[in-house]
Amino acid sequence: MRRTAPGLLFAALILLGLTGCSTSECRVYCNRYQQCIEDDIEVDACTDRCEAASEADRDHESKVEECASCVDTRTCAASFDDCVDDCLGVQGPL
């Protein structure tokens, strides 16, 4: 049993690596959009649209990763100043 747990953990990490991280990046993007731009958007619906766009288009997935990385640690004001190029064209709140 002891050998099985590390093997399962390793397998889980491999699967996470293969599937990418668009879910968490879409969630970060949508949460920040709600906090900084439009407080009445539904984060779950935004995340679903963002994820669907990422699954259909690798370029969108890359754009979401760049945007989420940029806005995640910045204030709303800094996000507007520093992340416009990274976030322009990300699908979600529409």
pLDDT per residue as tens digits for the range 60-85: 999 999 999 999 889 999 998 999 89
What pLDDT score does 34 carry? 94
Structural domain for 59, as ranges? 21-87
Cβ within 8 Å of residue 70, ≥6 positions away = 79, 82, 83, 86, 87
Q: What is the pLDDT of residues 19-41, one digit of tens each?
A: 344 458 999 999 999 999 999 99
Residue 32 belongs to a domain: yes
Residue 58 belongs to a domain: yes
Instruction: Answer whether 29's CB lies under 8 Å from 49's CB.
Output: no
What pLDDT score does 18 carry? 34
Residue 57 belongs to a domain: yes
- Split at pLDDT 50, 70, 90, the class of 91 is confident
Instruction: Answer whether 20's CB lies under 8 Å from 55's CB.
Output: no
Residue 1 belongs to a domain: no
DSSP assignment string, 50-75: HHHHHHH-HHHHHHHHHHHHHHTTS-
94 vs 25, residue with greater confidence: 25
